[in-house]
Structure 1
Amino acid sequence: MSTENASPLVELRNLTFGYGERAILDNITLTVPRGKVTALMGASGGGKTTVLRLIGGQLRAQKGQTLFDGQDITVMRAEALYAARRRMGMLFQFGALFTDMSVLDNVAFPLREHTNLPEALVRDIVLMKLNAVGLRGARDLMPSELSGGMARRVALARAIALDPELVMYDEPFAGLDPISLGTAARLIRQLNDAMGLTSIVVSHDLDETFHIADQVIVLANGKIAAQGTPDEVRHSEDPLVKQFVNALPDGPVRFHHPGPSLEEDFGNGDLAGLKERA
């Protein structure tokens, strides 16, 4: 069955999640098609990383469903949840490598934790994953000896160590120089296609993310502001999406945080002087 006609690997149905009185996601519905790269974008605090945590089962929705391959993560017991997580890979923001382990041991960690493979086979698998990200020669280095871009690639090798069906990336381009950023983006796309993965990328980097994504979902104010191909989202007429895509300083997301008027804070006399100095 082709991925075009297959059921989505991940689906959020009428999902609501918040912390106390603060709603983060408000009755949203979205799908992540198999074999594709889906980008989650939007202003900071819009709930993008929260979506990843809901899919991974670290958080549970108050209402609605979080479906992974048709099964609801929200109601899974521990054993079923751990089985689902073994089919997922995660690249954390800034890599999150174990600082006291070598590159080889970092990538080997999930294999040693979740399988009973002999050590010789673990080593061979690790070297293959490192080779896929161009770092087989760095196997004996420690994280402190890696550049930011290299650390991110090692983290990617670790994320695909168990041959997952889904890989989630939380800000994979943050803090990278242009060369490393381009390399990381190309790897996400190449590995997705070569390994038949499904990828979810949380990112603020518009150019690189739009270049590699099949689908873009923009979250704002607890809702989905836009969803479609990169070109469709880029040409959206929604004011908030236009502000985000064009990096405009003011719009629905205001430059000034809501508060008392200038007259209330400074008084009319002080306000005249303030405007003259401005």
Structure 2
Amino acid sequence: MSTPHFASVNDALVELRDVTFGYGERPVLAELSLRVPRGQVTALMGASGGGKTTVLRLIGGQQRAQQGQVLVGGQDVGAMDEAQLYAARRRMGMLFQFGALFTDLSVFENVAFPLREHTRLPEALIRDIVLMKLGAVGLRGARELMPAQISGGMARRVALARAIALDPELIMYDEPFAGLDPISLATAARLIRRLNAALGITSIVVSHDVQETFLIADQVIILGDGKVAAQGTPDELRASTDPLIRQFIGIDAEGPVQFHYPGPSIEQDFGIEVAR
């Protein structure tokens, strides 16, 4: 298994340059530019529908930017052919929301799947790798269990073991804390931080959980209106006086993001006059 490593470009493993993208007539990203430093945990945050998961899809090549460039290791993902894209994806790991395990495969077989799909390693070596990856997430003893027999938090850890099976340089996490109880959530957060340091990888974490995400992130990027609304270290954002940032991280209940979706006024909808 000899896949070339991503090159280092100005210490940024991932860079988006003036990226524009939308679904149909609905714009999502508007000339978005951001950089993900190599070896760090970068949190990607913002309101629902703000384009966070879309950024992950663009990096992984599931979607192509309509304008601009998505660079991974200095290579434009949007310009890759199928073979180049598959080679690039072998250097990436993805933790999907809620784990997305194969329900008909055991814990062991779920983690072994990418090794069997992308390598020709002998079974004895695959077994050793799978057990090491499960050991890294504390679930070596659960190897024979089926997904239906484990908790949501355990399923998320199995999915993480599968994501690191091919020793990726980049791991992307899509809402890794969604639906977890406080203990499982804290365990998952510590695991992301620990694996990032131990494996020397680069992590992008999409999350709405401000408290846990701020504890593990080196830098935080907040998206708004299809662009970077704010970025900095967790401490820098906590100290910000920007109304959008203060509303987002929960310091202020009210702010630029309105509760009501834009639409006709009450007078227009109900044909009545409302006292002001």
TM-score (norm 1): 0.93
Shift in Å at residue 57 of structure 1? 0.2
* Contact in 2 for aligned 1:6/1:34 (Cα 8 Å): no
Shift in Å at residue 262 of structure 1? 3.1
1:140-159 deviation digits (Å, cap 9, x = unpaired): 00000010000000000000
Shift in Å at residue 248 of structure 1? 4.6
Shift in Å at residue 210 of structure 1? 0.2
The secondary structure found in structure 1 opposite 2:69 is: strand
* Contact in 2 for aligned 1:37/1:189 (Cα 8 Å): yes
Shift in Å at residue 117 of structure 1? 0.2
Which amino acid in the other structure matches residue 48 of structure 2?
S
- Map of 1:88 onto structure 2: 92
Q: Structure 2 stretches of 5 or more lacking a match?
A: 1-7
Which amino acid in the other structure matches residue 259 of structure 1?
G
| 1:27 correspondence with 2:31 | yes
Shift in Å at residue 242 of structure 1? 1.5
* Contact in 1 for aligned 2:13/2:38 (Cα 8 Å): yes
- Map of 2:176 onto structure 1: 172
CA 1:212–1:45 in structure 2 vs 1: closer, same or farther (change >3 Å)? same
Shift in Å at residue 260 of structure 1? 3.0
- Map of 1:54 onto structure 2: 58
* Contact in 2 for aligned 1:107/1:158 (Cα 8 Å): yes
- Map of 1:263 onto structure 2: 267
Structure 1 segments (4+ residues) deviating >4 Å: none
Give percent identity, aligned residues only: 74
Which of the residues 11, 14, 20 maps onto 1:16?
Answer: 20
- Map of 1:149 onto structure 2: 153
- Map of 1:137 onto structure 2: 141
Which of the residues 223, 227, 234 maps onto 1:230?
Answer: 234
* Contact in 2 for aligned 1:47/1:222 (Cα 8 Å): yes
Q: Distance in 1 between matches of 2:119 and 2:201?
A: 21
Shift in Å at residue 104 of structure 1? 0.2
Instruction: Work out the number of aligned pairs and report it.
Output: 268
Q: 1 or 2, which has the higher helix percentage?
A: 1
- Map of 1:245 onto structure 2: 249
Shift in Å at residue 96 of structure 1? 0.1
Shift in Å at residue 247 of structure 1? 6.3
| 1:104 correspondence with 2:104 | no
Q: Distance in 2 between matches of 1:186 and 1:114?
A: 29
Further displaced range: 244-253 or 194-203 = 244-253
Shift in Å at residue 59 of structure 1? 0.3
Q: Structure 1 stretches of 5 or more lacking a match?
A: none
